[in-house]
Every structure is written in structure tokens, then in C-alpha cells.
Amino acid sequence: MMGESEKRLGNRLKTAAEAIRGAEYLTAFSGAGMSVESGIPPFRGEGGIWNKYDPAVLDLEAFVRHPGRSWPVIREMFICFLGADGRPPAQPNEAHRVLAKWEAAGRLKTTITQNIDGLHAAAGSRNLVEFHGHCRTMTCLDCGRELPLNAEATRAAVPRCACGGLLKPDFVFFGEGIPPGALEAAEEAARKTDCMVLVGTSGVVYPAAAIPQLAKRRGATIIEVNPEPSDYTERIVDLFIPMKAGAAFLRMDALLGPR
């Protein structure tokens, strides 16, 4: 027999699916919790990279002064995301795949992610705002040349451009601005959206955390998928789904049916 809490959860999933089906401009907004089921631990918290390293090594000024201290951390993050030295690359999980499927079907207009692991792109999301950049390339701080960030590059103690300049990976360091266009694109989506699904984000990293707040002020329905409540839950969320991302998206997708 179905328990009371399972029944309640089923009802919430059904209501979420109805909101998603009825949305004119559906957006998704994801954070670290999205990638946990792909084997990527959140940077903050248990097993995270910041339990092992001082986050200050990924401060832009510190990087420019002591790049040799930053690169071992960058290398470790890179291997975790894209694989190297016998470790396979992380794979998109069911939640990434469902979002890409909804976009392909015309159901989902924009995905905004705070993650730099590239898994939304790998799953096939196209209209994607990578709010904190990504790990695919690095840019010379002197001449602006862009080079691929690959396993070979991370093997150098400090990768250098042919011009001798320092190469910085194209994800956002602490003390660095949001990539040109990303903030504008995210805000534009937040203004247009009438339904935003938050997934795996704690709502504590600004300015990203302000995007769902903007959507809410503009009247959007806010759905949150998170195993635990977040900073958003009490303040702006209309429908809280206390589940891991993969299972929640599979069930919502099944309730939506084909389009």
C-alpha cells in the first residue's frame, strides 16, 4: 500500500508536470546537486574539493601571482569532469538527459547552469547559459588567444601561451566577473520565464542566486528539485520536490508523456 508521504510526493510531481506542460517559457536553473549523480561531488561540503584545498588558490589575483599553486587544483577538477590518467570522463545523468530532451521537443526554452563540468552541453542542451563559464578552453591573459583545456595542458606545472602569457581556464575564478553575455542572457530568460525549475542549487552563490529571485518577482512559478530544502525553499518556491535530480526528472517526464 502506498504511504502517505509517497502519495503527497506523487501529487507534487503531478502538479509540477502540469505547470511544466502549461508553461509558455520554461527555464531550468541548475547547481552542483545536478551533477552529484554523475559522480561529481559538490565543491562545498562533504567530499568536496574545498575540504582539501584553500579556495583562495582559485582567486584571480592569487592565480596571477602564484599560478603554480592553482594548477594542481585545476588539474584535479579537470580530471574529475573530463577524465584523464585512467579515470573516465563524467557522463550526463538522467536529469541532464531529460532537460536536453525537453529542449529538443520545444518544451524547455533555456537552461541556466552554475556548473562548469560541461555535462548539460554533453547531454545535448543547446540554449544553455553557462553562468560560471566552463572547462573546455583556456585564454591567454596577455594576448587573448584561446586554446583547448585538455589533459595534456593540465600536465604542465603552469601552462603558457606561445607568447609567454599565463593561460587561464575559462571558468569563473573568485574575484572575477560573470562571462560577457551570460549575466544578460540569464536575466533575459528570468524576465521572460513563467515557470522555472531549480535543481540542485543551494541559492547561496551570488550573483547567480539572484536569477530565480528575479523570475519570481516577474511572476514565474518556481519549482525546486532538491533532496534537502535550500535558501530558496521557504522564500520563493511554489512547489518543492524533495528528491534527487535523476529520479525526479524521470518521473516528471513520464507524467508529461510524449509531445
Cβ atoms of 148 and 136 within 8 Å: the answer is yes
Catalytic (active-site) positions: 132
Q: Which is nearer to Zn ion, 139 or 221 (CB)?
A: 139
Applying CB under 5 A, which of residues 105, 163, 204, 254 lies at the interface with Zn ion?
Answer: 163
For residue 117, which of 156, 149, 164 has the smallest C-alpha distance? 149
Number of residues in contact with Zn ion under rule CB under 5 A:
7
138 binds Zn ion (CB under 5 A): no
165 binds Zn ion (CB under 5 A): yes
- Which grid coordinates are listed for 135? 572547462
Q: Which is nearer to Zn ion, 142 or 188 (CB)?
A: 142
Distances (CA, A) of 203 to 44, 159, 212: 13, 34, 9
64 binds Zn ion (CB under 5 A): no
Exposed (0-12), middle (13-18) or buried (19+): which is 214, by Cβ within 10 Å?
Answer: middle
The distance of closest approach from Cβ of residue 144 to Zn ion in the complex, given in angstroms and rounded to an integer, is: 7
Other beta carbons less than 10 A from residue 76's beta carbon:
14
Applying CB under 5 A, which of residues 105, 143, 204, 254 lies at the interface with Zn ion?
Answer: 143
140 binds Zn ion (CB under 5 A): yes
Interface ranges with Zn ion (CB under 5 A): 140, 142-143, 145, 161, 163, 165
